[in-house]
């Protein structure tokens, strides 16, 4: 039998299962976004595509709540957005403070070190957040700091780090503010200009409810000036904003072949956000989070971070309950995906996402019912009858 025939027998027609994605990402994608992604592919320098790029930038500015000219979608996932922000602002020998309270703060440190930065780290236990006064003290110890990087929405722990107070102390010290908003953009309040954020990145696959593949980024005029005045080339050719922005800007200088259909998808996802309205969208995520939290806590489960995201809920796994068994049964029996813990939380935490299209009353009731069923069947020491009434009480109160 010919090789191609063997492959055709083994590799059938693509037919992925329909899941309810309630993990740390990706989130569910609406049919509108999937239809947009299936539109005809055109050239990356086609006049029609250039208009689509402009529209996408305008929509990104609206969702980031910024007037920053240098706002675009990097070709790559959220980690590419992190690298784009760090490697464009940091040159070898620059000092940078990185705040670490989970996986992604640690990743930012690694990226900065690869760029040749002298990195001063601040660490608190996973799930906790940073006090502005502690960052001010760190800045006083390192007055040559060029940028302070921290995670607004730590996906590995569900911890929410407020921005405005930190932004003030960083600017008072003459440094730039660099923020990871991968799990907060379009799901929680995020005001780039009002809060004085100089560089921010996110990902398409979280609260934007778009497939993974693009990383929205935005740079303030102060950050753009730093890029313009670099003494050395940006470490990454692919992520060099001095070239990428010439492609996304009026010049349309060829840099790389953009992922055209992913841009279609992002544009449609952003349209959905703007149609709903940022305030209403943030309120929806907050309400569904409160209902889920009420149900989980009524069941007897404990949240790990005191300052929890509304988009991602990290809870401790009850004693004597096997993480993989429960998540496996949720997936097999109910088609629900939730996430396990990372790092020191591995095997000790579940991460339940309510992001974008997936943040609905229906999904709150679904995951509480399914989790109650599975935990009850294995004899876990939880009150499986209390979850739904607690959640419905929140929904009833609005």
Domains annotated for the chain, with CATH where assigned, are: 39-275 (3.40.640.10), 278-397 (3.90.1150.10)
pLDDT value at position 249? 86
pLDDT tens readout for residues 277-323 = 999 999 999 999 999 999 999 999 999 988 899 999 999 999 999 99
Report in angstroms the alpha-carbon separations of 203 from 94, 212, 329: 26, 7, 29
Regions of the chain with pLDDT less than 50: none
Cβ 174 vs Cβ 196: under 8 Å: no
List of E strands, 223-358: 312-316, 336-337, 339-340, 349-353
For residue 4, what pLDDT is reported?
72
pLDDT of residue 2: 60
Beta strands per DSSP E along 14-133: 20-21, 70-75, 95-100, 118-123
Beta strand pairing status for 176-180 and 159-160?
unpaired
Cα–Cα distance, 30 to 209 (Å, whole number):
7
How many Å apart are CA 334 and CA 330, to the nearest integer? 5
Using alpha carbons, list the distances in angstroms from residue 8 to 4, 12, 14, 15: 6, 6, 12, 15
Whether the bond into 307 is cis, omega within 30 of 0: no
Separation between Cα atoms, residue 84 and residue 240, nearest integer Å: 7
Which is nearest to 273 in space by CA: 357, 198, 338?
A: 357
CA distance 9 to 105: 45
Does the reported pTM lie above 0.75?
yes
């Amino acid at each position: 039998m010919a090789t191609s025939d063997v492959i055709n027998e083994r590799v059938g027609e693509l037919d992925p299962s329909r899941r309810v994605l309630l993990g740390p990402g990706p989130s569910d994608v609406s049919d509108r976004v999937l239809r947009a992604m299936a539109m005809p592919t055109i050239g990356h320098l086609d006049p029609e595509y250039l208009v689509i790029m402009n529209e996408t930038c305008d929509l990104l500015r609206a969702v980031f709540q910024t007037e920053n000219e240098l706002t675009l979608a990097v070709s790559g996932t959220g980690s590419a957005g992190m690298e784009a922000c760090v490697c464009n602002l940091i040159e070898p020998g620059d000092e940078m403070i990185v705040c670490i309270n989970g996986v992604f703060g640690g990743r930012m440190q690694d990226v900065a070190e690869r760029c040749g930065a002298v990195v001063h780290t601040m660490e608190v236990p996973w799930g906790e957040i940073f006090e502005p006064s502690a960052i001010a003290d760190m800045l006083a110890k390192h007055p040559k700091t060029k940028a302070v990087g921290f995670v607004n929405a730590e996906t590995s722990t569900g911890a929410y780090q407020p921005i405005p107070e930190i932004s003030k102390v960083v600017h008072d010290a003459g440094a730039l503010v660099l923020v990871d908003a991968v799990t907060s953009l379009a799901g929680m309040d995020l005001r780039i200009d009002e809060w004085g954020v100089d560089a921010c990145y996110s990902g398409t696959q979280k609260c934007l409810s778009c497939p993974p593949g693009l990383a929205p980024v935005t740079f303030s005029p102060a950050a753009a000036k730093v890029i313009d005045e670099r003494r050395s080339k940006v470490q990454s050719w692919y992520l060099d904003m001095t070239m990428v922005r010439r492609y996304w800007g009026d010049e349309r200088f060829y840099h790389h072949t953009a992922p055209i259909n992913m841009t279609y998808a992002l544009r449609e996802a952003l349209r959905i956000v703007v149609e709903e309205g940022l305030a209403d969208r943030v309120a929806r995520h907050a309400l569904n989070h409160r209902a889920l939290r009420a149900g989980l806590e009524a069941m007897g489960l404990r949240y790990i971070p005191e300052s929890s995201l509304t988009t991602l809920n990290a809870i401790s796994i009850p004693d004597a309950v096997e993480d993989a068994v429960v998540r496996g049964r949720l997936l097999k029996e109910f088609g629900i995906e939730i996430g396990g813990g990372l790092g020191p939380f591995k095997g000790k935490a579940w991460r339940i996402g309510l992001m974008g299209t997936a943040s609905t009353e229906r999904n709150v009731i679904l995951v509480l019912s399914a989790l109650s069923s599975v935990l009850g069947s294995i004899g876990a020491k939880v009150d499986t009858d209390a979850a739904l009434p607690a959640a419905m009480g929140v929904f009833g109160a609005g």
